[in-house]
Amino acid sequence: MPLLDNYIRRKFIYYFLLAVTAFSGTYLLIDFIEKVDNFIDKSVPLTTLLFYLLISLPVIFIRVAPLAILMAAFMTIGSLSRTGEITAMRAGGLSLIRISRPLFTLTLVITLGTILIQELIVPLSTRTMKEIWNVQIQGEARPQMVRDKIWYRSGNQMIYIDRAETAAGRLRNITIFDLNERFNITKRFDAERAVFKDNRWLFYNTIDRRFDPKSGELSNQLSATETHIPFQKTPENFKHVEALLGELTFIDLYHEIDKLRDEGYSTIRHQVNMQTHLAAPFASIVMVLLGIPFALHRGRSASLASGIVISILVGVAYFILDSIATAFGYSGILSPIIATWASNILFILIGLWFILFRTE
């Protein structure tokens, strides 16, 4: 049996690497065509473009791994079926589940590896890619932040925002420092919150402090329940702050949820993202369960072309359903667990039904 298992493993690994290379290469080619003009327009060195594409590989691998496993399972079982080896194994008393065991063990290893890449490498890759794109290509001064804490400079001002809620048009705990030529603080403005109304920001529960530029001593202080000051940013300017949620790991999201709950904020979006960190890698197990019965259904007609077509069609169907369920989770219609695991559970049941049907 070890000899047979190793034989099946070698076939599966060969097709998996072939599929990963093909899908990743296609992804990189499309990404290169879409972005090369932007890099040329900004006179960015070729080495930066190549580095950008290189660090995107972990992100690409996470996205194409389930499709590669689906294709590898389809081609492995399909090639064994096409040469009559499946028939011989079944005649020797081996069940379909026993024949497929090496595929399941390898898929489990790949899934665990995917989780490690997702948690340890992808956040750094995503952060670096955004840094290159936003700063070197878009010419933006990206806010320096730790989670939701935002620091940025505007003219002679240093601005700190504890939290930016883009959709609601709200800011929480704002502090604005005015600096002179010697970087001495001449003014400090604090607000508990700000709301964007009628194309301007209204600040609430504010304290406006003025300092002597020479001695640094407090010279004046004014408080107000509501006031308006010139503030050039709009909610649109803080959209990329929310996108940084994709750079957080499972542990980061877990601690962030606890923090938001303590502060009384909604945690639905963070809960969905946290559950996605668990559910997304297990799509690979779903795909191997689908690839095996599809290959047996094709029988001797299973080929590389049909494997690619089936992989893409099944993958598209899965990810469309998953995207819809996730959107329902973000809106609160479905609980975070159901929204992120519904697609996996549904397709696992379909795969198990097909496998049991083929076993009979």
Query: Within 13 Å and on the Cβ side, how many CA atoms surround 291?
Result: 36
Residue 144: per-residue pLDDT: 46
Residues 299 and 228 in one domain: no
Q: Is residue 55 part of a domain?
A: yes
Query: How many domains does the chain contain in total?
Result: 2
The pTM for the full model equals 0.69
Mean pLDDT of 205-215: 87
Residues 335 and 224 in one domain: no
Q: Is residue 47 part of a domain?
A: yes
Q: Which residues pair with 210 in a beta bridge?
A: 187, 220
By mean pLDDT, which of 57-71, 189-203, 285-299, 303-317 is the weakest? 303-317
Q: Is residue 240 part of a domain?
A: no
Residues 29 and 75 in one domain: yes
Residues 100 and 153 in one domain: no
Positive or negative torsion for Cα 331, 332, 337, 343:
negative
**Dist. CA 58–CA 62, nearest whole Å:** 6
Residues 231 and 272 in one domain: no
Residues 99 and 128 in one domain: yes
106, 176, 230 from 239: Cα distances, Å? 40, 20, 20
Residue 191: per-residue pLDDT: 93
Boundaries of domain holding 110: 2-133+267-359
Q: Which residues pair with 207 in a beta bridge?
A: 190, 223
Residues 129 and 271 in one domain: yes
Each residue's pLDDT tens digit, 311-343: 778 878 888 898 899 999 988 899 999 999 999
Each residue's pLDDT tens digit, 67-104: 899 889 888 888 887 777 877 887 877 777 788 888 99
Q: pLDDT grade, residue 113 (50/70/90)? A: very high
Average pLDDT, the chain: 82
Q: Is residue 325 part of a domain?
A: yes
Q: Which residue has the higher pLDDT, 129 or 167?
A: 129
Residues 95 and 129 in one domain: yes
Q: Kindly state the percentage of the chain with pLDDT values over 90.
A: 22
By mean pLDDT, which of 273-282, 302-311, 349-358 is the weakest? 302-311
Residues 121 and 178 in one domain: no
Rg over alpha carbons for the chain, rounded to the nearest Å, is 27
Contact between 177 and 187 (Cβ < 8 Å)? yes
Contact between 287 and 352 (Cβ < 8 Å)? no
Last residue of a domain, one of 235, 258, 280: 235
Q: Is residue 323 part of a domain?
A: yes
| Burial class of 213 by CB neighbour count within 10 A (0 to 12, 13 to 18, 19+) | middle
| Burial class of 23 by CB neighbour count within 10 A (0 to 12, 13 to 18, 19+) | buried
Contact between 20 and 69 (Cβ < 8 Å)? no
Last residue of a domain, one of 190, 220, 235: 235
Residues 94 and 180 in one domain: no
Q: pLDDT grade, residue 141 (50/70/90)? A: low
Residues 199 and 112 in one domain: no
Q: Is residue 69 part of a domain?
A: yes
By mean pLDDT, which of 152-156, 241-245, 312-316 is the weakest? 241-245
* Residue 35 reports pLDDT greater than 50: yes
Mean pLDDT of 232-254: 69
Longest dimension (CA), the chain: 94
By mean pLDDT, which of 136-145, 162-171, 282-291 is the weakest? 136-145
Q: Is residue 256 part of a domain?
A: no
Q: Is residue 311 part of a domain?
A: yes
Contact between 122 and 280 (Cβ < 8 Å)? no
Residues 15 and 115 in one domain: yes
